[in-house]
Structure 1
Amino acid sequence: MMLSIIIPVYNEQENLIKRLSFLCEKANKNNIEIIIANSPESIDESQLVCNKYAKVIHLDCKIKGRAAQMNAGAKLAKGDVLMFLHADVVLPEDFYLQVKTAVNEGNKFGFFAYKFDVSTTLLNLNSKFTKKDGLFAGGGDQCQFFTKETFKAFKGYNENFCIMEDFEMMDRIRKHKIPFKIIQSKATVSARKYNNNSWLKVNLINGYVFLKYRLGVHPTKLRKTYKSLLRESV
């Protein structure tokens, strides 16, 4: 199995410095390619960071936004399985084996349970919900992966969604009853949002914006609402 890891970035130089060594180490041992899909609005030195790694392909995207950048990376990808990773998420050590096993079991889609990079009672409570299927499952930092044929059949992420593109995809997966697996080897995600705000505030805002998404509010309005309420870039 060839796995293409696609990372959409916007001024993520520091996170790339932290992540690429680990990913390239795994790529040296497994059939993995790494594609950095960079926003046309990035002004940092992400490309120079990428150029230091032979296993990394840097792509200058023509259209900004995570959905468009992930789709652009997917078009370039050679792998028969595509995985989409946020730059500040750390995959578990056995991620390649776990994805390969999930696909060999007949799953055409999947994602990872996760834990936070700091441990508190409330954050640990949040992470418990990522281990099972539920209302919020599959979105956010859970590292969605697809067989390439499944991703192509869905025509990629909906680029009309400048936010919630992962939940919109999850809705389509459920609607078409695509078999999927939640991998229990946990990814590690940043607690930055919670550090800059509070546990209660972040969860209330997430719930409020998710409800508005369910009610059909336009993605640009969702993004504006999210940015106005939360001290965090989107």
Structure 2
Amino acid sequence: MPTISIIIPILNEADNLPHLFVHIIGLNPPPQQVILIDGGSNDESLALTQSLITDLRVIQQSDIDWQVIQSQAGRARQMNKGAALATGDVLLFLHADTKLPPQAITDIKTATQDKKWGRFDVRLDSPDWMLKRVSKMINLRSRLTGIATGDQAIFIKRDWFEQIGGYPDQALMEDVEISKRLKTIGKPACLTSQVITSARRWQQHGTCRTILLMWRLRFDYWRGVPADNIWQRYYR
């Protein structure tokens, strides 16, 4: 069975990091390795990550190979740097505010016996009926198009990741672009087990407004608008 390396880009995630560590430790079975890549946080993210890893090693509470490194800002650059240090047969790219199902490692090992890459279904962490509908639409769209989002915890066998040259070095839509490249050589495994991801952006900016924004940005990317321009509009 393949070994799994989890690669997590972080940026100003100090409030969330203790929860992230507890979550990863609770996976059964555990991954072989977890690499966290700090992209220049200006809070205590880097120091806290180093402290949490040290504590785990001192009390011998985890069989996981934990590592933390620094990188230039940019999620794609962070993930590529983490992938370069990973030792697993399969690379699982996880957002810091996304929680895997407890059996995620088993799900990935099973899926990658037949497929070279894939993703999970996603559920936004909100009881709001409209956000529940959004989650279902994201999953349906992903199945129909073969395109995954970063929130869906994309996993890729190392040889394919290297074959396509890793994540494209662009400011946004790196998940869409790598999905487009991967699906030209093989269909994704669309797992029905769910990851739970933060709904904070939807809640902060409004559900309808965020839906319309994402549709516009995806359409613009499809018609060739540069990723840097889309990034400016997304984070404006």
Q: Distance in 1 between matches of 2:124 and 2:146?
A: 16
Give the TM-score, by structure 1 length.
Answer: 0.90
Segments of 5+ residues of structure 2 without an aligned counterpart are 58-63
Please tell me whether the aligned partners of residues 8 and 70 of structure 1 are also in contact (alpha carbons under 8 angstroms): yes
Match of 1:24 in 2: 25
* Residues 78-117 of structure 1 mapped to structure 2, 5 A cutoff: 78-104=87-113, 106-117=114-125
Match of 2:168 in 1: 158
Task: Give the aligned residue type for 1:9.
Answer: I
For the residue of structure 2 that corresponds to 1:64, the secondary structure is: coil
1:181 aligns with 2:155: no
Match of 2:61 in 1: none
Bigger shift: residues 203-212 or 13-22: 13-22
Match of 2:157 in 1: 147
Please tell me whether the aligned partners of residues 27 and 104 of structure 2 are also in contact (alpha carbons under 8 angstroms): no
Match of 2:11 in 1: 10
Match of 1:45 in 2: 44
Q: Distance in 1 between matches of 2:158 and 2:196?
A: 25
Match of 2:60 in 1: none
1:163-191: CA deviations, max 9, x gaps?
00000111112223x13211111000111
CA gap of 1:13–1:44, structure 2 versus 1, over 3 A, is same
Segments of 5+ residues of structure 1 without an aligned counterpart are 229-234
Task: Give the aligned residue type for 1:156.
Answer: G
1:83-118: CA deviations, max 9, x gaps?
0001000111110111011011x1000001011111
* Residues 164-175 of structure 1 mapped to structure 2, 5 A cutoff: 164-175=173-184
Please tell me whether the aligned partners of residues 50 and 57 of structure 1 are also in contact (alpha carbons under 8 angstroms): no
Please tell me whether the aligned partners of residues 124 and 135 of structure 2 are also in contact (alpha carbons under 8 angstroms): yes
Please tell me whether the aligned partners of residues 114 and 188 of structure 1 are also in contact (alpha carbons under 8 angstroms): yes
Bigger shift: residues 82-91 or 46-55: 46-55
Q: Distance in 2 between matches of 1:71 and 1:90?
A: 21
Please tell me whether the aligned partners of residues 94 and 150 of structure 2 are also in contact (alpha carbons under 8 angstroms): no
Deviation at 1:203, TM superposition (A): 0.3
Percent identical residues: 30
Q: Distance in 1 between matches of 2:191 and 2:159?
A: 20
Give the TM-score, by structure 2 length.
Answer: 0.89
Deviation at 1:78, TM superposition (A): 0.5
For the residue of structure 2 that corresponds to 1:43, the secondary structure is: coil
For the residue of structure 1 that corresponds to 2:16, the secondary structure is: helix
Please tell me whether the aligned partners of residues 115 and 188 of structure 2 are also in contact (alpha carbons under 8 angstroms): yes
Task: Give the aligned residue type for 2:104.
Answer: F
Task: Give the aligned residue type for 2:172.
Answer: I
CA gap of 1:151–1:136, structure 2 versus 1, over 3 A, is closer
Q: Which of 134, 140, 144 is the equivalent residue of 1:126?
A: 134
Please tell me whether the aligned partners of residues 146 and 183 of structure 2 are also in contact (alpha carbons under 8 angstroms): no
1:64 aligns with 2:65: no
Deviation at 1:136, TM superposition (A): 8.0
Please tell me whether the aligned partners of residues 6 and 31 of structure 2 are also in contact (alpha carbons under 8 angstroms): no
